[in-house]
Amino acid sequence: MATTVSLPATPHREPSHRYESGVWSWLATTDHKRIGQLYLYTSLFWFLVGGIEAAIIRTQLYGPNQHLVTAQTYNELFTMHGTTMIFLVVMPLSAAFFNFLIPLQIGARDVAFPRLNAFSYWIFLFGGLFINFSWLLHAAPNGGWFGYAPLTTRPFSPGLNIDFWVLGLQILGLSSLAAGFNFITTIINMRAPGMHFMRMPIFSWMAFITQFMIVLAFPIFTVALTFLMLDRFFGTNFYEIQAGADPLLWQHLFWLFGHPEVYILILPAFGLVSEVVPVFSRKPLFGYPVMVYSGILIAFLGFGVWAHHMFAVGMGPIADSFFSITTMLIAIPTGVKIFNWLGTMWGGSLRFTTAMKFAIALVALFTIGGISGVMHSSPPSDLQQTDSYFIVAHFHYVLFGGSLMGLFAGLYFYYPKITGRLMNEKIGSWHFWLTAIGMNLTFFPMHFLGLDGMPRRISSYDAGQGWESNNHLASYGAALIVIGTVFFVYNWFASMRKGAVAGNDPWGGATLEWAIPSPPPDYNFATIPQVTSRYPLWDRKSPQMTSEVPHGTRDEQKMEVKIAGKTTGTAPAPADTKLNAPNAHPSAKQLGINMPTPTIRPLLAAFFLGCVFVGLIAHRNLPIMFISAALFVLSLYSWLLTPLEPEHH
């Protein structure tokens, strides 16, 4: 692609050119693809941390009466494992995909508010570091990831542990909220011409629905946390039993947030699976409209089931019945999706790439988790299951077997788009099988442990209760998961240097992101595409795939990837085998596309805002708090009064 275009008359060089390479380019980036990668690497790091916490837990629980860790440390471990996995792994991994993928799928150049996007990341980074800093002070949060008051009020939790938890989560909440407003606006307003909502890729749809859940559920959590913060730091009475507070206030507020939160955790993974399965079945998604409506219905109903986490507190028969019914109802749209994925694969030409394996694993494992979930929906049966390992089994099947499997599917699927190279399929297979077998070995026995009476959150158990063998199995499974993860980490980094060059579209994808180079240029699309269907690339290259043929294998017109067993993935190499060869594609300037200027202001604003919280936890240091707040406001003014893009000439 020789570029002999004459440049526009001397564009004046923005002073930010120092931000165009090296570390500064990352610190000052407003590019959604870079921000997505920042989220990705940060959350993969926290995944390892959370995994180590789990490994210690499983080692401690291997046999009866072990003393690898004290009970106090054990409390910190399971609290941080849960908090980390939910807020620092699954949510930001989903955010990595929101960031990287949404503009590409909808045919946009960036998100609606690029600097706000950067801010969301930096405040997330600060929050993760803040809450984990507590480990260094031997004061990690220890009240469970759900932090029930009054246990977490100062009289019952006097140390810094819960302070870190409350403030850390407040910081993280800000990140999610800001991103929510950004993506909602982006999806509503920045779709390419012709991309009606019902032509939008299903991942973008699920992401869109998730953002609404975030912006509506997180404020409730903010209030619940604020009450706890005010009680702990300023002596208010929201959760003070002595002052007549209701011990259920926290629970209701928390679960009003907490239940939509679990749908926030799963819908993006569902979206990724809905991208992967059609491509590797060489068939359009079965029942696209139903997939959309069921997602919307899940979000809707998800706000009406929260007290099913509270069946054991004694709300009375009317409340119990109501929430039991709504919980059973929500199984319907969820189940519908399972059938639609099966319907997609039925009669398709299946390719079992690693991404596809993880996607199919979600379909199977989430179903198991869903079945145990429906068992919890009945209050009498839940009274036996609640607070036992049966629940631990359920939520790990849906979160690990569901969310994480879906996210891995997305990672393998989109790795080529992000890095320009393919991951090694053989190593990927090892990762998959070790993880899938390990996960089932860890969590399936927990169903039995729960029914045999093993409670949650105990740091050790006595011998002779019949719990040893299942705990052994669970710990062996955890070891397999650890090994599988090692394969994954190795594969990720090795493939960046040695993986086969992917080209634009190694998998034969259907949607817009596969039409552009891998990795994409900063402006994404040289020209904004005009969209005429749900599967723009299939319509163009393989029109027979989108005609309504229910059965039969399809011609592999573009078998660019060979499955593990023959050769690892190869794609026809472009003429230039070096990635990012000079002049590989024209620059934004050469195309006359005005891109946002990189700027350090979002990072500064995030930093100063974070410092306010540091001041609060450092014994209510008012000078630090006020100075930081003032600096935050100043950086905000500087940000808002600076134009997003350089003047167009």
| Cis? peptide before 519, omega within 30° of 0 | yes
Active site residue 31: no
Neighbouring-strand partners of residue 388: 455
Q: Output the smallest distance, CB 594 to other proteins, in A.
A: 5
Closest alpha carbon to 55 in 75, 26, 81 = 81
Distances (CA, A) of 485 to 9, 51, 53, 401, 415: 52, 9, 14, 15, 16
Which range touches other proteins (CB under 8 A), out of 91-99, 189-197, 276-284, 514-522?
A: 189-197
Q: Which of residues 616-645 bind other proteins (CB under 8 A)?
A: 637, 645
Could you say which of 234, 497, 550, 582 contacts other proteins (CB under 8 A)? 234
Are the CB atoms for 596 and 30 separated by under 8 Å?
yes
Distance in angstroms (rounded) separating the CA atoms of residues 607 and 122: 8
The CA distance from 313 to 324, in Å, is: 14
Q: Is 556 in the site for other proteins (CB under 8 A)?
A: no
Which of 47/208 has CB closer to other proteins? 208
376 is catalytic: no
> Does 263 participate in binding other proteins (rule CB under 8 A)?
no
Nearer to other proteins, 63 or 304 (CB): 304
180 binds other proteins (CB under 8 A): yes
Q: Examine the residue annotation and report whether 308 is marked as an active-site residue of this protein.
A: yes
Q: Cβ neighbours of residue 303 under 8 Å, at least 6 residues apart? A: 216, 217, 256, 259, 260
Q: How many CB atoms lie within 10 A of CB 45?
A: 13
Burial 107-128 (b: 16+ CB within 10 A, else e): bbbbbbbbbbbbbbbbbbbbbb
Helices (H), 85-201: 91-106, 114-136, 161-189
- From 25-33, 44-52, 465-473, 590-598, span contacting other proteins (CB under 8 A): 590-598
Largest CA distance in the chain: 83
Q: Is 307 among the residues that bind other proteins (CB under 8 A)? A: yes
Per CB under 8 A, contacts with other proteins among 513-542 are 526-528
In whole angstroms, the minimum distance from the beta carbon of 244 to other proteins comes to 5
Q: Is 110 a catalytic residue?
A: yes
Measured from the CB of residue 308, what is the shortest distance to other proteins in angstroms? 13
Q: Taking contact as CB under 8 A, which single stretch among the options 231-239, 267-275, 406-414, 476-484 is the one that binds other proteins?
A: 231-239
Q: Is 241 in the site for other proteins (CB under 8 A)?
A: no
> Of the residues 94, 175, 372, 419, which is catalytic?
175
456 catalytic residue (yes or no): yes
Asked if residue 123 lies in contact with residue 182, where contact means CB atoms within 8 angstroms, the answer is no
Structure tokens at 116: 């706000």
Our CB check for other proteins shows the closer of 211 and 459 to be 211
Per CB under 8 A, which region of 76-84, 222-230, 281-289, 476-484 contacts other proteins?
222-230
Q: How many CA atoms lie within 13 A of 517 on its CB side?
A: 20
- The one-letter amino acid code at 95 reads A
* Footprint on this chain of other proteins (rule: CB under 8 A): 1, 3, 5, 112-113, 177, 180-182, 184-185, 188-193, 195, 215-220, 222-224, 226-227, 230, 234-238, 243-246, 248-249, 252-253, 256, 303, 307, 315, 318-319, 526-528, 586, 590-594, 637, 645, 648
Active site residues: 81, 110, 145, 175-176, 259, 261, 263, 274, 308-309, 334, 337, 456
